[in-house]
Amino acid sequence: MTSCFKGKPMDGEKPIVLVIGAGPAGLTAALELIRRSKYCPVVVEASHEIGGISRTVNYKGYRMDIGGHRFFSKSDWVMNWWQEIMPIIDAKNANIPVQISYRQKHREVKTSSYSQPSDLVLLIRNRLSRIYYLRKFFDYPISLSAKTLGNLGVVRIFRIGISYCLATLFPKRPERSLEDFLINRFGDELYRTFFKDYTEKVWGVPCNQISAEWGAQRIKGLSIIKAIRHALSRPLQQKSIEQKNTSTSLIERFLYPKLGPGQLWEEVARRVEVAGGQILLGHKVSGVRIVSGRVDAVMVTGNDGGEKRIEAEHFISTMPIKDLVAAMNDVPPEEVRAIASELPYRDFVTVGLLVSRMKKIDHSLASQLNECPPDNWIYVQESDVKLGRIQVFNNWSPYLVADSKNVWLGLEYFCQEGD
């Protein structure tokens, strides 16, 4: 392997592209540059880990997915890109082609068996997520099952129905906030029951201070009518990985790396380095030099506290805009620097909890090993509980858990840096 990082390239050497950040965006850019261009990428990463927020933390063989990452996309290019790096396996249909659907068409993808020596594979995982509210469990998306109706009670169901009808007849116009957006689609009562407290817990901002456009992006067309139609048609639907005609919030199967999301990005990083690119971990950008309106060089501070100057033909940044603008010193206009400095970034803390046994938490579901909840994750809607979400890593991939007799949980607390 040869390294391309020597500052400006010498005669005969490939020109350098400096990529800031070794998360999914930065590593994808680096690998594509190697595959499709004459350039050689140099990736600088402030932390000592690959994958950014999509990394996998390994604690004594117990692997933690920071955030919970479902691998599905409505882009064929993205789906194919993942599968080229990590082939798909199906535990129930080893070495048998599996049909997936996309663009209202069907195709078969080849699967591999567990007996192959490589762990570098994608699993097909079923999704189950629920809401914990009123000290009870609700399906997510909300279903019209007898259990849901029983949990809500007659009085609350009546209020939900009335408020939904009022919202349909007299919608808030114009939609100025996320609160307006959600009330118009679900009614005030359902909004306060299942959306308000959790959303504000996640983002730390009242819903009436979040833009309506944010709701359109996150909800992506989900409505009560679509949820009802989906619930009625579920028994007749064929399972699909890509599910292009299904709203994001209704997708029921997804791909997942055997050893967590970081496994994919660690492999991408390996391929970048094998092909001659370079990844510098523990190198934080300390300055961005701009000459004549163009980035001329980037200064990075390494593990030893020393500063390196990296010159390149092109620069790609995936670092936070707030930090990027600050690193440019006084070059951006004062107004731009002021806006960038005030951009809010939400943080969260994930606590790994290893449990040897659990009490049965839901008697309506079949018994699990050690009463492990069947969910991938559980939204904690209760306003008096600071915990925001619970990941059940056993159900993302059994290979995240060193000992299958244990239950491996991720407890997520949403916060601001310094809380």
CATH of the domain at 21: 3.50.50.60
Q: Are residues 298 and 382 in the same domain?
A: no
| Higher pLDDT, residue 90 or 63 | 63
pLDDT tier for residue 246 given thresholds of 50, 70 and 90: very low
* pLDDT, tens digit, 9 for 90 and up, residues 313-358: 999 999 999 999 999 988 899 999 999 999 988 898 999 999 998 8
CATH number of 180's domain: 1.10.3110
Q: Own/partner pairs for 316-325, CB < 8 Å, 24+ apart? A: 316/17, 316/18, 316/19, 316/20, 316/26, 316/29, 317/20, 317/21, 318/19, 318/20, 318/21, 318/23, 318/25, 318/26, 318/29, 319/20, 319/21, 319/46, 319/285, 320/345, 323/285, 324/20, 324/285, 324/288
Distances (CA, A) of 50 to 55, 114, 140, 316: 6, 26, 32, 17
Q: Are residues 213 and 281 in the same domain?
A: no
Of the ranges 5-19, 82-96, 146-160, the best mean pLDDT one: 146-160
| Higher pLDDT, residue 58 or 195 | 58
* Percent of the chain residues past pLDDT 90, beyond the cut: 56
Rounded Cα gap, residues 186 and 182, in angstroms: 6
Evaluate whether 310 touches 42 at the Cβ level (below 8 Å): yes
The whole-number pLDDT of residue 2 equals: 37
4-8, 51-55, 343-347, 402-406: least confident range: 4-8
pTM for this entry: 0.83
Range of the domain at 230: 129-235
Among 309, 344, 379, give the residue marking a domain's end: 344
Q: Are residues 366 and 336 in the same domain?
A: no
- Residue 13 resides in a domain: yes
- 122 forms bridges with which residues in the sheet? 88, 257
15-29, 100-114, 300-314, 348-362: least confident range: 100-114
Question: Exposed, middle or buried, 372 (CB in 10 Å: 0-12/13-18/19+)?
Answer: buried
| Higher pLDDT, residue 249 or 283 | 283
- Residue 119 resides in a domain: no
The average pLDDT across 215-238 equals 61
- Residue 275 resides in a domain: yes
Residue 284 has pLDDT above 90, yes or no: yes
pLDDT tier for residue 290 given thresholds of 50, 70 and 90: very high
365-369, 379-383, 390-394: least confident range: 365-369
Among 309, 326, 344, give the residue marking a domain's end: 344
The average pLDDT across 256-278 equals 96
pLDDT tier for residue 230 given thresholds of 50, 70 and 90: low
Q: Which residues of 83-119 are buried (b: 16+ CB within 10 A; e: fewer)?
A: eebbbbbbeeeeeeebebbbeeeeeebebeeeeeeee
| Higher pLDDT, residue 145 or 31 | 31
Q: Are residues 313 and 266 in the same domain?
A: yes
- Residue 296 resides in a domain: yes
Q: Are residues 143 and 191 in the same domain?
A: yes
| Higher pLDDT, residue 65 or 106 | 65
4-13, 40-49, 214-223: least confident range: 4-13
pLDDT tier for residue 146 given thresholds of 50, 70 and 90: confident
Q: Are residues 141 and 170 in the same domain?
A: yes
The whole-number pLDDT of residue 250 equals: 43
The average pLDDT across 389-414 equals 95
Residue 244 has pLDDT above 70, yes or no: no
Residue 37 has pLDDT above 90, yes or no: yes
Q: Are residues 302 and 274 in the same domain?
A: yes
What's the total number of domains in the chain? Answer: 3
Q: Own/partner pairs for 286-292, CB < 8 Å, 24+ apart? A: 286/327, 287/327, 287/329, 288/315, 288/324, 288/327, 288/328, 288/329, 290/328, 290/331
